[in-house]
Structure 1
Amino acid sequence: MTTEAVRSRPVPGAALRQALRSWPTGVAVLFLGTGADQTGATVNSLAPVSLDPAVVSVALRSGSRTAQQACPGAPVVLSILGQHNATAARLCADPGRPLTHDPAVVELASDGTARAIREALSTLTGHVRAVHTVGDHELLLIDVDDVVPGSPGSPLVFVHSQFHADPVPLA
C-alpha cells in the first residue's frame, strides 16, 4: 500500500465557502501586538491544538492588516465572545475601521493596548508560536500563557455568513 496522497481535481474555493456557510462556529476577537502597533480582527477559526502545552490556532486572510503583523513572539489577546458581545464582533470585523479602541467595548491597559473585550466569556493571552502560509490564509499557532474567566453567558455563533445571538436557524 502506498502512502502517497491521491488528489482528484481541485475543489473551487467558492464551493468550499458555500458548504462551510452552514457550519456554525464560535466567534472571538484577536488582538495582536502592543501599543500603537496593535491590530485586531474578529475570527471564527479559533481551534484548540494541544492542551499540554496549551496551544490554539487561528487562521487570518493573507494580506490582512492583522496577518501582516503576525510573527513568532508577538503578544496575543483572544477574547471568546458571548451573545452580548455581538457589537464588539461587528466593530472588529470591519476592515475599514480606524484602529482605535472604544473603551465601552474594549478593556484597555495603561499604554492603550487592548487587554480584552469587555464582558467576554473568557480571554486567552499568549504569544505567536509560529505562522504558516496555507493557501490564501496565514495559520497562527498561539501558545496560551493565561486563561482569564469572564462573564457568564451563551456563545456568539457565526453561521450562514451572519452573527447569531439567538438560536441558530437550521436552514
Structure 2
Amino acid sequence: MTAPAVGAFREAARLWTTGVAVLTARHGDEVFAKTVSSLCPLSLDPLLLSVAVDRRSPLVDAVRADARFAVGVLGARQEALARRFAAPGAGRALGLFTGAPMRTAATGTPVLEECLAWFDCRLHAVLPGGDHALLVGRVVATGDSGPGEPLLYHDRAFRSLAPLPVPTPTGVSA
C-alpha cells in the first residue's frame, strides 16, 4: 500500500470542518498572532491543550523562548481577524496590534478580546509533527464571552452554523 499524494491528502482534508482560533504569544516587546484550525483540548488531568503551527513560524520560536501562549476561539463575526492573522507576515508586530483589541491574561500573554472562549497556557511540550510543531500547553486560565456562533472553516471557506431543518416524522399525518 502506498501513501496518498499530497494533493489527494489536501483534497480529503479540506472536507474536515473545524473551528477557527487565533494563537497569540509575546516575546520581549514583540506580539505574535496566527490563525489556526488545529486546536484540540487534549487532557482534563492535567488540563492540556494542543495546537499545530508551521514549524518555521517565528511564533513557534517565541513560544519556546517565553514558554507561554494563549488561544482565542473566534466567533462568526470575527472572520476579518481570522483572515488578517492567516496572511503571511501579518501576525508579528512591535507593541500591540492596532485594530485587534487585546488584553493580558494570567501568564502575561495577550488574548484577543470578544472571542467566544480563550485559553491561557504555560508551555508543557513542543512535539515534532512533520512540517508543523505541536505546541502543548498546560491551561492556567480560561474564559468565555457567553453564547455565540462559532467561526468555522470548511472546504476552503469560512462558514458559520446554520440550524438544520426539523425533520418531519415519516408516517405521521397532520
Q: TM-score, normalised by structure 2?
A: 0.80
Gaps of 5+ in 1: 1-7
Q: What's the C-alpha RMSD, in Å, of the aligned pairs? A: 2.3
* From 142, 151, 160, the counterpart of 1:156: 151
8 A contact 2:85–2:91 mirrored in 1: no
CA positional deviation for 1:166: 5.7
Measured against aligned partners, the alpha-carbon deviations of 1:77-107 in whole angstroms (never above 9, x if no partner) come to 1101110111111111111326234444222
Q: 2:123 maps to which residue? A: 128
* From 73, 76, 82, the counterpart of 1:83: 76
Letter of the 1:140 partner, please give it: L
Query: How many angstroms apart in 1 are the aligned matches of 2:65 and 2:124?
Result: 5
* From 2, 12, 27, the counterpart of 1:9: 2
Measured against aligned partners, the alpha-carbon deviations of 1:125-153 in whole angstroms (never above 9, x if no partner) come to 01111111121111111111011122431
SS of equivalent to 2:78: helix
Measured against aligned partners, the alpha-carbon deviations of 1:23-45 in whole angstroms (never above 9, x if no partner) come to 10001100123442332110000
8 A contact 1:58–1:139 mirrored in 2: yes
Please identify the structure whose Cα radius of gyration is greater. Answer: 2
2:15 paired with 1:25: no
Query: How many angstroms apart in 2 are the aligned matches of 1:55 and 1:149?
Result: 17
Q: How many residues were matched structurally?
A: 158
Query: Residues 87-98 of structure 1 correspond to what in structure 2 (within 5 A)?
Result: 87-97=80-90
Query: How many angstroms apart in 2 are the aligned matches of 1:33 and 1:102?
Result: 12
* From 62, 65, 68, the counterpart of 2:61: 68
